[in-house]
Structure 1
């Protein structure tokens, strides 16, 4: 006989599968209707017009499935996880408005800050953080500021990196699966439930988006997914939520390839006097694509990097807290060195290809669509 807990987990898995099929149907419908068409601009790497309503499909199915799951499991829609789900829907709406009307970056960032503050007010701050020499340090009131900055910053990092088919979605799937497993084996039912529902919705989108780029997630998708993952990292790190707590550095380490790409690019643009907030095509992943790497290969590279970072991150977070930062620094150094080697190799291969091309006037195959 199945226990009541086992039956509940099976019901939640069935609910997640329902979300998968619903999201698939919505994505297919939006494609056929050419709903919310996306056009080329200074940031995109695609050609032609493609629906960018994938984020709408993702969040409709996620919010409905997650809230229903929280109700069925008696965790409650008014719980911290319920608040996170509803605020995820709210920031997705902000992204949808930007997709439709192209609001100013300042106004969009203000909305992100407000929603981040609201989230932290409900779910609480980052209580402790491993610091060099000091180890786990109680942040006190500063923990609220750090939490707000983390959520707002990560939302933008994820949004900036949503530029090639499947890259942001694929890396997010890696993180969500890790959180789902941690929740399942750690007895944290709301973490398992919430991660599972987004995993299933996002996977439905991923298999349509990758590699051909038949639909994009748009800002509605990237802002909402980034917000959810940042919020899950906050909740999972709180001992009061699960009894043990997930290491606070784990999720940032999974996305260290994204964080490094955005940080290095912004520093380079600021140092050269460019407006860092303007749309551009100077990210590492964009340079790889420009050097001849296909969208699929760049996406696979970043997904492998996310899996590697997740495994390394879990090992690093098991180190004594006073030296944990050394593991983070070592992983960052490995990723930076690997990026430089890959980038140099890509540039060399591109030069060889250009020299060996028999007739540069011949039309070349157009790249696959990408956001």
Structure 2
């Protein structure tokens, strides 16, 4: 099937299935309740929108499997980045994360049980082949298998939880992830792969189908979406063959806010596991920013990181590492500036 026809079909199928399932999930009455602490909404909101995103994506994967069986020439073997076996493990791991998220959305899993289940997938996926082959740097490459497996497990655990922490404002986490998938595809296109994998179009379109409803405040992605979609990015990125610095650059808009917030709370001696409103995006909302304004800011940051990651992938050598450093430093400084300015504004509002 010519790509000129393939990409619009993928967008239509993934987006429409996602939109339909999201609308359907609003009737399931699994609600995100206001808590007066971390959450900003004033009324209960349905929170299984992630099911729609994953349904749209896997509908395309199912169709692609049928078409490939009928005529392998139509799609080739690079519908998603990575080898067939690794892709299968990545998809299974993403579904595992989504299942844990869904269980937590519906029945509030025991925290210890949830952690054990997440760790099992984080360790199991790298052992089954979903791991970066090397950690490259200007100072030499690390290739020790045990180190790569441990590092990949840590990346999967940290990134999925970071994305879940960022899922507290309409359009933020899922919108940023959509830009990250776009950046992943562009990096592959400009890099050695030379092609934007069609499967990545599917998850972007499925995310768009969800965002149409989410940005009206009518549904949340929930843990099923935050965990499932972020795990899909984390696993596919690891098996894409791209430099770890290209992957890390794509993830900066999520990682910086999460890691800097954890450092802040640790410095204050506060618990790292309790609900809070200390993220930079939460600080902006507390001072009057709307969900749209916060989302657009983070989408812009994600688009900029995606563009730089793509340039780094195309240039190769030490460029991905250099671009990562050049972005990580100003983003970290920007985080500090936002926190300080919002803190000062909040203090003035209290005095008034």
Aligned to 2:155: 150
- Tell me if 1:201 matches 2:206: yes
Aligned to 1:86: 92
Contact kept? 1:35, 1:53, Cα under 8 Å:
no
Contact kept? 1:54, 1:205, Cα under 8 Å:
yes
- Deviation of residue 26 (structure 1)? 1.7
For 1:1-371, list aligned pairs within 5 A. Answer: 6=2, 10-11=5-6, 13-31=8-26, 33=27, 35-41=29-35, 42-73=37-68, 74=72, 75=77, 79-131=85-137, 133-183=138-188, 192-210=197-215, 212-237=216-241, 246-316=242-312, 318=315, 320-321=317-318, 325-347=321-343
Per-residue CA deviations over 1:219-242 (Å, capped at 9, x if unaligned) read 0000001100001111112xxxxx
> Structure 1 residues 259 and 333 mapped into 2: Cα distance closer, same or farther (>3 Å)?
same
- Deviation of residue 48 (structure 1)? 0.4
- Deviation of residue 206 (structure 1)? 0.9
Aligned length: 339
Secondary structure, aligned partner of 2:157: helix
Per-residue CA deviations over 1:252-296 (Å, capped at 9, x if unaligned) read 212212211111111222232222012221111111111221111
Contact kept? 1:70, 1:82, Cα under 8 Å:
no
* Pairwise CA RMSD: 2.8
Aligned to 1:366: none
Query: How far, CA to CA, are the matches of 1:87 and 1:340 in structure 2?
Result: 35
Contact kept? 2:187, 2:311, Cα under 8 Å:
no
TM-score normalised by L of structure 1: 0.82
Aligned to 1:362: none
- Deviation of residue 182 (structure 1)? 4.0
**Quick check: which has more Rg, 1 or 2?**
1
Secondary structure, aligned partner of 2:145: coil
Contact kept? 2:246, 2:324, Cα under 8 Å:
no
- Deviation of residue 40 (structure 1)? 1.6
TM-score normalised by L of structure 2: 0.86
Contact kept? 1:40, 1:47, Cα under 8 Å:
yes
Bigger mean CA offset, 280-289 vs 263-272 = 263-272
Contact kept? 2:262, 2:272, Cα under 8 Å:
yes
> Structure 1 residues 102 and 199 mapped into 2: Cα distance closer, same or farther (>3 Å)?
same
> Structure 1 residues 325 and 297 mapped into 2: Cα distance closer, same or farther (>3 Å)?
same
- Deviation of residue 324 (structure 1)? 5.4
> Structure 1 residues 319 and 12 mapped into 2: Cα distance closer, same or farther (>3 Å)?
closer
User: Unpaired runs of 5+ in structure 1?
Assistant: 238-245, 358-371
Secondary structure, aligned partner of 1:123: coil
